[in-house]
Structure 1
Amino acid sequence: MPKSSLRAAALPAALLLLAVTTTGAMAQKKYDTGATDTEIKIGNIMPYSGPASAYGVIGKTEEAYFKKINAEGGINGRKVNFISYDDAYSPPKTVEQARKLVESDEVLLIFNSLGTPSNSAIQKYMNSKKVPQLFVATGATKWNDPKDFPWTMGWQPSYQSETQIYAKYLLKEKPGAKIAVLFQNDDYGKDYLKGLKDGLGAKAASMIVMEESYETSEPTIDNHIVKLKATNADVFVNITTPKFAAQAIKKIAEIGWKTTHFLNNVSASVGSVIKPAGYEASQDIISAAYLKDASDPQWNDDAGMKAFYAFMKKDFPEGNVLDGGTVVGYGVAQTLVQILKQCGDNLTRENVMKQAASLKDFRTEVLLPGIKINTSATDFAPVSQLQPMRFKGEKWELFGDVISADVGG
């Protein structure tokens, strides 16, 4: 047979092979709304305005981190399109923005939206639409409920875990303490309070002398602090968001209330709470941490924090490195990038949740030593360990051991 005929005969076979190979490659790629060969569309809702606006820096950090990822080639060759809206910490506005992201912007998922009341308002909607409500920026225990809400997952340690740790500390160090509690009158505040009571057990009724709640619409909580001091409590458990936490620290110093002060982790930022309240007024406050503190020189030679500092300098120079929110945003964004890498070319919403529930000893660069992220189909609580810390000088000092939470969904 002439060579030309041989080539002609071979050509259909080559085309057939090419077609099979191409079809195989195409078959391997699976996309839901919000994902293509070139893009992954991610939605986010933050309180850039309103009473919890101090947390807005988390969304800004995430935006800068995804821009960095895109500049480096994206995730498996796809660029992240990060769409972030303001809800002013108002649940009705959160509902409006979630609908816009899912129905108009057509995002693959909503990521790290902030606030317990805000996420509570959209949880049923997100699950009915089967759109991931992934790594919500709130420590409410209810996000760890894969049976009833398989499309919702938290990230940070649960609020109940944290106050249970404080309760363990008090039962050991101050078993006769008189405790006064200030809490935000919503799901977030009540979740923390429940953890404290559960941790104190039978002694809760005798040890807690007053539970005082406040509304986020109040301009100041000074009157609540004065009322709590009048109980002569020697322990104050401060369950507040940043604006009110700073007010409480200032007022306690102003009226000379000598008390052991426990401050919830979500308001332990040196930049947005401690510094505005005053270093002097903040001495010996106790909190708990799961992330490294960017203001602490002990991490200056830490490889992970060096990468974080470099990111802040190059990619987010307008951000305040002392603001704990930047560390949170960086850590949770790194976790999402890991999930999307694991998804490969199967960028369906179902696979996003499957990969989110398959993390094994994952560490972002900003987690404290000894703390790892683990999830499973029945455990939607990625970070469940904390270490106590005390404020000294101009920084937090870690003490004691890393404590694992014993709170389930």
Structure 2
Amino acid sequence: MRAAALRAIALGLMVASAATATRADPGKEEIRIGQTLPYSGPLSGFGAIGRAQEAYFAKINAEGGINGRKIRLISLDDAYSPPKTVEQTRKLVEQDEVLLMFGSLGTATNNAVHRYLNGKKVPQLFVLSGATKWADPKGFPWTMPGMATYESEGVVYAKHILQARPDAKIAILSQNDDFGRDYVAGFKRALGSKAASMIVAEANYESSAPTINSQIAALKGSGANIVFGVVLGKFTSQLIKGMAEIGWKPDAVYVPTSASSITFLEPAGLANAAGLVTSSYQKDIFDEQWANDPDVKEYFAFLKQYLPSGDERNTNYATAYVNARLLVHVLRACGDDLSRENVLRQATSLRAVTLPLLLPDVAVTTGSDDYLPFQQLRLRRFDGKSWTALSGLLDDR
């Protein structure tokens, strides 16, 4: 009986040890990736990102996985509600024991779990928000952004204006929140000492406002010939249509990448949107110039095989595809060391990584003191039908 008891104790210790090892080395048998997205609620359209990434990881698994391990993406609905994000993230880390969090959407939602994940030393990789705060290696070393920051985008617009219109009179309309403030901060930083003389008027609006007509009228009265409109969603349409209705035709209107969707331009009238300037680091998959591009063809072939029920016109799929490819590159670089420390080490030491759908000459480079993966952008102008290239690469390095 004593021998049997000793064997039982030894077996229990072995089981406990194995369980501890699994928790210390997440993804030993499979690579578990955690994610929260709004699959319900007003922003449920962004759930397409998770569906596309699940499809892409299925493709990778069908091809043998990552160094012999299969990827398992556990993507949970947070309805774009920070308290729900906290609940779901804790479940993913503490119950599902994910190796890392990947590509979760939103500034407020990611902010709700920012300290928690860094305290747990869980990589919070390629956050889908352009807030500058995600690139803070000293304060929050376990978090990295997954898109160009709003501030960097503001910088490239200002650089272009300095090159093309150094005598410009600029009016700024911005949303009164971190989104707007980040864009304007980068814009003014790049203008430098000329900001005081070139910016002739500024106005902002609340995201809850019904219209921005009064702000548009006030900015017109400033005599500005360049507009920087830091607008989102319906306010994009209102800006374009409102300017047309009062006969204001500045020489150029710059809007964020997030305002460039055709769904925002159509309500204002595509003819009214002609001349808009925005930026991108990705190829426009519907632009005729990329119709025969091998990467674009490969992308559409992927959708047809692994996401046949999806709407190929949904550009969220393209964003998801690029970031999933980037994560796969990081995981492959980890080799057999799938510790969280090594995942972070590989993610922060990328050297000129090229990815399908990125514009020519755009590459991803990161460092231990530089967490920004996308700092190169190319300006585009809307011609009334599609976006066409306007500049070479500009960056915020």
Q: Which range, TM-score by smaller chain?
A: 0.7 to 0.9
Aligned to 1:288: 279
Question: Post-superposition shift, 1:385?
Answer: 0.7
State the distance in 2 between where 1:254 and 1:41 align. Answer: 53
Change (3 A) 1:246 1:44: farther
Aligned to 1:128: 119
1:80 and 2:40 matched: no
Change (3 A) 1:267 1:71: farther
Secondary structure of the corresponding residue to residue 360 of structure 1: coil
State the distance in 2 between where 1:173 and 1:302 align. Answer: 30
Counterpart mapping for 1:305-344 below 5 A: 305-344=296-335
- The equivalent position to 2:27 in structure 1, one of 32, 35, 41, is 35
Aligned to 1:163: 154
Aligned to 2:346: 355
Alpha-carbon displacement from aligned partner over 1:75-98 (angstroms, at most 9, x marks no partner): 223222222233344434433332
Secondary structure of the corresponding residue to residue 101 of structure 2: strand
Aligned to 1:405: 396
State the distance in 1 between where 2:50 and 2:280 align. Answer: 20
State the distance in 1 between where 2:112 and 2:146 align. Answer: 18
| Structure 2 spans left out of the alignment, 5+ residues | 1-17
Cα root mean square deviation, aligned = 2.6
Secondary structure of the corresponding residue to residue 36 of structure 2: strand
Change (3 A) 1:170 1:135: same
Aligned to 1:14: none
Q: Which amino acid aligns with 1:398?
A: A
8 Å Cα contact 2:25-2:338 kept in structure 1: no
Question: Post-superposition shift, 1:58?
Answer: 2.6
Change (3 A) 1:74 1:150: same
- The equivalent position to 1:268 in structure 2, one of 260, 264, 268, is 260
Alpha-carbon displacement from aligned partner over 1:374-400 (angstroms, at most 9, x marks no partner): 112222111211111111142111122
Secondary structure of the corresponding residue to residue 85 of structure 1: strand
Question: Post-superposition shift, 1:251?
Answer: 3.4
8 Å Cα contact 1:32-1:347 kept in structure 2: no
State the distance in 2 between where 1:31 and 1:304 align. Answer: 38
Secondary structure of the corresponding residue to residue 135 of structure 1: strand
Aligned to 1:12: none
8 Å Cα contact 1:109-1:349 kept in structure 2: yes
Change (3 A) 1:148 1:303: same
Q: Which amino acid aligns with 1:379?
A: D
Question: Post-superposition shift, 1:292?
Answer: 0.4
Secondary structure of the corresponding residue to residue 121 of structure 1: helix
- The equivalent position to 1:302 in structure 2, one of 261, 279, 293, is 293
Alpha-carbon displacement from aligned partner over 1:3-44 (angstroms, at most 9, x marks no partner): xxxxxxxxxxxxxxxxxxxxxxx9xx987464132x222122
Change (3 A) 1:36 1:242: farther
Q: Which amino acid aligns with 1:36?
A: K
8 Å Cα contact 2:201-2:222 kept in structure 1: yes
8 Å Cα contact 1:269-1:325 kept in structure 2: no
Secondary structure of the corresponding residue to residue 292 of structure 1: coil
Residue-pair matches, total = 377
1:251 and 2:205 matched: no
Change (3 A) 1:392 1:48: farther
Q: Which amino acid aligns with 1:372?
A: A
Secondary structure of the corresponding residue to residue 127 of structure 2: coil
Q: Which moved more, 1:133-142 or 1:366-375?
A: 133-142
State the distance in 1 between where 2:91 and 2:217 align. Answer: 43
8 Å Cα contact 1:44-1:111 kept in structure 2: yes
Change (3 A) 1:388 1:101: same
Aligned to 1:234: 225
Question: Post-superposition shift, 1:338?
Answer: 1.0
Aligned to 1:367: 358
Q: Which amino acid aligns with 1:237?
A: F
State the distance in 1 between where 2:137 and 2:266 align. Answer: 39
Alpha-carbon displacement from aligned partner over 1:134-191 (angstroms, at most 9, x marks no partner): 0111222232221221101113222222111111222233334332323233322211
1:387 and 2:375 matched: no
State the distance in 1 between where 2:213 and 2:24 align. Answer: 50
Alpha-carbon displacement from aligned partner over 1:224-264 (angstroms, at most 9, x marks no partner): 44554454432221223334324433433344331221111
Percent of aligned positions that are identical:
48
Change (3 A) 1:109 1:233: same
1:107 and 2:98 matched: yes
8 Å Cα contact 2:270-2:384 kept in structure 1: yes
Change (3 A) 1:207 1:255: same
State the distance in 2 between where 1:249 and 1:314 align. Answer: 38
Q: Which moved more, 1:366-375 or 1:104-113?
A: 104-113
Question: Post-superposition shift, 1:361?
Answer: 1.6
Alpha-carbon displacement from aligned partner over 1:183-240 (angstroms, at most 9, x marks no partner): 2333222111100111122232333344333344445545544554454432221223
Alpha-carbon displacement from aligned partner over 1:255-297 (angstroms, at most 9, x marks no partner): 4331221111133233x43345442222111011100001111
8 Å Cα contact 1:52-1:242 kept in structure 2: no
Q: Which amino acid aligns with 2:171?
A: A
Counterpart mapping for 1:212-223 below 5 A: 212-218=203-209, 220-222=211-213
